[in-house]
Chains A and B, each alone.
Chain A
Amino acid sequence: MATDKSNIQLITNGILNENPIFRLVLSMCPAVGISTTVMNGIMLGVAVLFVQVFSSVTISIFKNVIHPRIRIPTYTLTIATWVTVIDLLLAAYLPEAYGKMGIFVKLIVAFAIITMRLEMFACKESVQASFWDGIGMGLGFMFGMMAIGFVRELLGMGTLLGYDILGFQPLLFFVLHCAGFFVVGLMMAFFNYVEIIYKKTKQGA
């Protein structure tokens, strides 16, 4: 079964319509836990992108030989393998960023979003479509993390990517870990608000 969507549509679908963090409300742990800076968001986003793309492609290649009854354990072990790869790569080449992310790189293995995409998309579609879907989902996760990181870093430290933007620290509260819950909740409410306004204007027109 081939999907009728083009590659561009598959990518934008992951970023906008089915954004893992704001739309599907999956993989919230890193979105709250380590989204204190934009850089953290980018680093974990790259790791998730890597795991998502490679697991999607792997499962898509072998979809015809995997028995349906053991598909979930197969997905888990595939993801675990690729997580081990990215974990060792980051530890070897970017030890500083790896230290900041701590245990979260290893925890990618338990992210619901990756298993869900394998179950819903990669095990049915062609290798090429799975590849682009994986990229879309990974980018969507990365942009979500960057958006939260943007708000928290700007409001908490007055910096972006480590560069001083505001020249002062508006509210140190946002760097506190528990502020992650508030920022994510308020951003979701904001998106809901935009959606409600959008629907109202559409009805009025």
Chain B
Amino acid sequence: MKNIMLRQIIIILLLCGLPGLTQAADLIADKSFGDDNEIIVTFSQAVDMEAAINPANYTVYEEPDPDIRLSVEAVSVADDLMSASLRFREPLNTSQPHVVAIANLSPDPEVVTTFTVAKPYIGYLLGILVSALLINNFVFTKYLGLCVFFGTSKRKDTAKGMGFTFTIVIVVSAIMSWFFYQFILKPFDLNFLQIVIFIGLVSLTVQAVDTILRKVNPDLFNAFGVYLVLVIANCVIIAVPLILADNEYNFFETFMLSLGAGGGFLLALYLMSSVRERIELANVPPTFKGVPIAFIVAGQFALAFLGFSGMQLF
């Protein structure tokens, strides 16, 4: 008896709810970001010219801050009345989803057509990866992990070993940190324990990788085991969990960020070791021998990586 009533209620709810839900989706066939300051909307049927061209009918804001309205400067509607292009005064921050509400568009004046414009999610994820790898490279543009960076970039073999070990440890520990942060620290309001928990997890991961590698693949352990101890002295490994906790990243974003951080470190180490192998053959003034010249080279790399700043790929 109860079940039947429940079913009826659900069906009634669906019947009432569906038209409201489908209306917005029906009217809007496609939407996307155009230029820096443009949103393009495609309608599924011809719309009223008067309503569509009036900027006052549009309300646009970034999803996290509904209070900050972005002012639509001009709207141009295509001749067949099937699509419109919204121009804004300032460039849009396309990494955030934007909510667009259009009043007076549908035949029923009460209904406000609302939809969300966002970049494709896979592109957004790749954006995080490339950003951590190049644009915000942890070594050359965030200046983290420098102690280990200068210590292990003398030989290409060392650089590769350190880079791969580091990438494995950082991906595992970042994912574990994410689980701890989302399911233990946040629900129990223990945010002040972030540092202690994250550094503990990193030590644990290093110890676990050490033990597993020693048993499963002794050859690999002989090659990479020495770098495991150094991983813990690297600031990047603790910076990544702190960043993902600050930004409230989800699981996939966490994975991409940690992969990018590890890959970026590997890239930086490899570039640097290639240069330093050559410097050994060069005639360096005695005052610059060793660490000082390495710093100058790193500075030049940092200048080069500055060129990536502001780049947006996806």
* A→B interface (CB under 8 Å): 25-29, 32-33, 72-73, 76-77, 80-81, 83-84, 87-88, 103, 106-107, 109-112, 115, 176-182, 184-186, 188-190, 192-193, 196
Contact = CB atoms under 8 A, between A and B. Distances in A.
Contacts of A190: 287
A103 B238 CA distance: 10
A34 to B, nearest CB: 8
B292 A188 contact: yes
B203 A178 contact: no
A28 B147 CA distance: 6
B287 A193 contact: yes
Q: Which 9 A-B pairs have the closest CB atoms?
A: A185-B295, A181-B299, A178-B302, A33-B143, A28-B146, A189-B292, A188-B292, A182-B299, A80-B196
Interface residues of B, number: 42
Interface stretch (B8-16, B80-88, B155-163, B228-236): B228-236
Contact of A180 (B143, B233, B237, B288): B143
Contacts of B299: 178-182, 185
B146 A110 contact: no
Interface string B229-249: 000111101110011000000
Given A192-B286, A192-B292, 7 more contacts: A25-B291, A28-B150, A178-B306, A179-B299, A189-B287, A189-B288, A196-B286
B239 A76 contact: no
A190 B291 CA distance: 12
Nearest to B151: A25
Given A73-B203, A76-B199, A106-B242, A178 B303 contact: yes
Contacts of B286: 192, 196
Interface string B274-307: 0000000000001111011111101100110110
